[in-house]
Amino acid sequence: MNNPNTLKVALAQIAPVWLDKHRTLDKIKASLAEAGAKACELVVFGEGILPGYPFWLSLTSGAQFNSPVQKQLHAHYLSNAVQIEAGELEDICRLAQEYSIAVYLGIIERARDRGGHSLYCSLVYINQEGRIKSVHRKLQPTYEERLTWSAGDGNGLRVHSLKQFCVGGLNCWENWMPLARTALYGLGENLHVAVWPGSETNTTDITHFIAKESRSFVISVSGLMKREDFPAGTPHLEKILENAPAVLANGGSCIAGPDGEWIIAPVTGKEGLIIETLNFNRVLEERQNFDVSGHYSRPDVTKLTVNRERQSVLIIKDEDKGS
């Protein structure tokens, strides 16, 4: 793919091996290798796909305080979450480098810089050289997600150059947060990645809307999850299945062009790669009459301040003992 104005993208709409980090990693690596073999230049996975979305919360009275069931499920989730500092994404990075393919991957992060015992819904960007360039921790978990995920910070509000494109991404309902979107627009984003746990009811309206608002390409990528995808050995599996519907996440991955129209309409119930080639010139055409951070902005009247400091409870100042 030598044309700098085109980008071949793969939307990896897959189901995790739910809350099994190692087996889910195997599925992710297989999808990445398939995308690389098909000469894709960017592959995107859904929100928290590694190791999975916390579906149990709405199925097992997740808000019950001091519940042994909730404690045990949360501990299982923690044990299968990703510690980036421990090198748990190194295989993904190696494959990205091998195939010269950039990756957006949704993970549940067990962040060592926040003590190592709290969880963050994070979106990781790995470039075509296999380097992790940003880890965006979801700013505001939604509804029952707050029972297991912590609130993130602005450190990951970043964009990345990929050929002529400038890519950025957000998790699920933070795509509805106007100022989070504005931060990425102001950084020059023209290819927006929105990741979701999996539902066409989420992706259909917002994908159109962001594309029209930003005059950018928008890729929405969702996961899949069916009742039979809960693996044997999951703690309190019988209790989870008591109220689990047949389909918990039906996908809905899609792509809208910079005019807001579908390039690929939402795809439901189908596991695998959805592949499309994007033409950068479409961005230039649609920015002619509207550019939200350029000629159609008024920074003398309104502007946004973004704090990208990685938040921590600890600042260590060691005594300088000299040489």
Alpha carbon distance, N-terminus to C-terminus of the chain: 52
pLDDT at 5: 95
pLDDT at 316: 87
Query: For 251-289, how does the pLDDT look when each residue is reduced to its tens digit (9 = 90+)?
Result: 999 999 999 999 999 999 999 999 999 999 999 999 999
CA 97/CA 298 separation, integer angstroms: 41
Taking residues 180-184, report their average pLDDT: 98
The rounded percent of the chain whose pLDDT value lies above 70 is: 99
pLDDT at 2: 79
CA 216/CA 188 separation, integer angstroms: 10
pLDDT at 315: 86
pLDDT at 319: 75
φ, ψ at 106 (rounded to 5°): -85, 125
* pLDDT of residue 317 exceeding 70: yes
This model's pTM is above 0.85: yes
Query: For 14-59, how does the pLDDT look when each residue is reduced to its tens digit (9 = 90+)?
Result: 999 999 999 999 999 999 999 999 999 999 999 999 999 999 999 9
Distances in Å between the Cα of 137 and the Cα atoms of 200, 267, 315 are 23, 27, 20
pLDDT at 314: 87
Query: For the purposes of burial, counting CB atoms within 10 Å of the CB of 141, is it exposed (0-12), middle (13-18) or buried (19 or more)?
Result: buried
Domains of the chain as residue ranges with CATH: 6-286 (3.60.110.10)
Q: Are 32 and 25 in contact (CB under 8 A)?
A: no
pLDDT at 1: 59
CA 86/CA 134 separation, integer angstroms: 16
Q: What angle (nearest 5°) sits at the alpha carbon of residue 155, between those of residues 149 and 161? A: 120
Chain-wide mean pLDDT for the chain?
96
Q: How many CA atoms lie within 13 A of 262 on its CB side?
A: 10
Taking residues 142-153, report their average pLDDT: 96
* pLDDT of residue 323 exceeding 60: no
pLDDT at 318: 87
Three-state DSSP at 230 gives coil
* pLDDT of residue 322 exceeding 70: no
Tokens of 281: 């010139």
Query: For 187-212, how does the pLDDT look when each residue is reduced to its tens digit (9 = 90+)?
Result: 999 999 999 999 999 999 999 999 99
